[in-house]
Amino acid sequence: MTGKADGDRMNAVEITGKTKVAGVFGDPVEHSLSPAMHNAAFRRLGMDWVYVPFHVKPEQLGEAVRAVRALGLAGVNVTVPHKVAVMEHLDAVDEEARLIGAVNTVVHRDGRLVGYNTDGRGFLRSLAREAQVDPKGARVLILGAGGAAQAIACSLALHGAGAITIANRTVSKAEALAARVRERAPARAVPLAPGDPRFEEALAGAEIVVHTTTVGMYPRHQEEPLIPVERLRDGALVCDIVYRPRETALLRAAKARGLRVLTGEGMLAYQGAIAFELFTGRAAPEELMLAVLRERLAAGG
Ligand code: ATR
């Protein structure tokens, strides 16, 4: 099924001797929406580039990374389960990715492979573009402490968030993430277990709430929100990084309570846009990338 934005994908792709190749490494990889976003962007800008999915098994990750150099790929995105393991195969890792402890973008530049993490910055760009929110000085409550929470917490801290509370069912993971943030970034980071009496305070005080757990994600979309939205402050912004379904039970409840909400597909589109900029050195057609992503998600892609 082809929509309007996705029409860019339909322009014939002519592979030439000069075509530059980028791609994504994952296991599995066939559900990745990155090829559709990046190829639409290349077509829109008339660039002689293609973006290809590569199914890479964990035991072959090292060989696959060496192939980026051997085959002269321009760069690759790296997704589950390779984001941490890939780091040991690179020549350098940028500071934000090092703090996050994971890489989702590898750029091949002058024979060197440099790792970046665009997930957290993708979230920040989504905040800025779609909610017109600057997190500088803000009190943020993050629900969850997995890979996505790590990227978001570290990027928020590096970009000046005031106080970051991390609440997670397994409190040891919240503690580890808070320690990582405090060690390298000035933001105050507090770990909490959901039952902690200070959790109520964190709910009432948060200006930005970011839900990063798998609760409410398809096929668990019938699940109740993790937090009672009625206890959030008026004017709070509630973000859910889950993008299947587009509107989670948490966002529905937040809207009904009169709060502003931010859906999850923006983070996915903007992490791609920032990766595109790293690969190509050109500004990404980010509205197109977001539109392609929305069409694919709406079509069940
Ligand atoms: P991702 O990399 O996408 O962030 P992840 O690393 O698997 O995914 O992390 C999943 C997050 O969802 C974790 O914070 C997890 O909590 P635990 O650390 O306690 O496992 C959280 N999570 C998953 N199911 C949950 C549930 N039913 N209630 C609360 N938190 C849940």
pLDDT at 301 over 90: no
pLDDT at 132 over 80: yes
Rounded Cα distance between 301 and 285, Å, is 21
Q: List the catalytic residues.
A: 83
What is the CATH classification number for the domain harbouring 51? 3.40.50.10860
**Closest ligand 1 atom to Cα of 80:** 2
Question: Quick one: tokens of 277?
Answer: 């900029």
Same domain, 129 and 256: yes
What's the mean pLDDT in 85-104? 97
CA–CA distances in Å: residue 82 to residues 28, 70, 76, 118, 279: 11, 20, 12, 15, 19
Would you say 126 and 293 are in contact if contact means Cβ atoms under 8 Å apart?
no
Kindly indicate the confidence band of residue 1, based on its pLDDT and cuts at 50, 70 and 90.
very low
The 10 Å CB-count burial string (b at 16+, else e) for 170-205 is: ebebbbbbbebbbeebebebbbbeeebeebeebbeb
pLDDT at 9 over 60: no
Kindly indicate the confidence band of residue 28, based on its pLDDT and cuts at 50, 70 and 90.
very high
Kindly indicate the confidence band of residue 2, based on its pLDDT and cuts at 50, 70 and 90.
very low
Same domain, 258 and 147: yes
Residues in the chain: 301
Q: Report pLDDT for 220.
A: 78
What's the mean pLDDT in 123-147? 97
Distance between Cα 68 and ligand 1 center (Å): 32
Same domain, 211 and 284: no
What is the average pLDDT score of the chain? Answer: 94
Distance between Cα 148 and ligand 1 center (Å): 10
What's the mean pLDDT in 188-214? 94
Same domain, 41 and 124: no
Q: Is 61 left (phi over 0), alpha (psi -120 to 50) or beta?
A: alpha
Q: Report pLDDT for 5.
A: 57
The H-or-E segment that residue 245 falls in is none
Same domain, 156 and 204: yes
Same domain, 37 and 132: no
Residue of the CA atom closest to atom 16 of ligand 1: 169
Domain encompassing residue 130 = 120-263
Distance between Cα 144 and ligand 1 center (Å): 6
pLDDT digits (tens, 9 = 90+) for 244-285: 999 999 999 999 999 999 999 999 999 999 999 999 999 999
Same domain, 54 and 127: no
Residues with CB under 6 A from ligand 1: 144-149, 168-170, 173, 212-215, 226
Kindly indicate the confidence band of residue 218, based on its pLDDT and cuts at 50, 70 and 90.
confident
Same domain, 198 and 102: no
Same domain, 209 and 243: yes
pTM greater than 0.75: yes
Please, how many CA atoms are within 13 Å of residue 133, restricted to the half-sphere of its CB? 24
Kindly indicate the confidence band of residue 11, based on its pLDDT and cuts at 50, 70 and 90.
low
Would you say 215 and 245 are in contact if contact means Cβ atoms under 8 Å apart?
no
Q: Report pLDDT for 240.
A: 97
pLDDT digits (tens, 9 = 90+) for 223-251: 889 899 999 999 999 999 999 999 999 99
pLDDT digits (tens, 9 = 90+) for 152-176: 999 999 999 999 999 999 999 999 9
Same domain, 88 and 130: no
What is the CATH classification number for the domain harbouring 137? 3.40.50.720
Number of domains within the chain:
2
Q: Report pLDDT for 219.
A: 84
Ligand 1: which of 169, 210, 223 to mutate, most ligand atoms within 8 Å of CB? 169
Kindly indicate the confidence band of residue 7, based on its pLDDT and cuts at 50, 70 and 90.
low
Same domain, 11 and 111: yes
Same domain, 127 and 255: yes
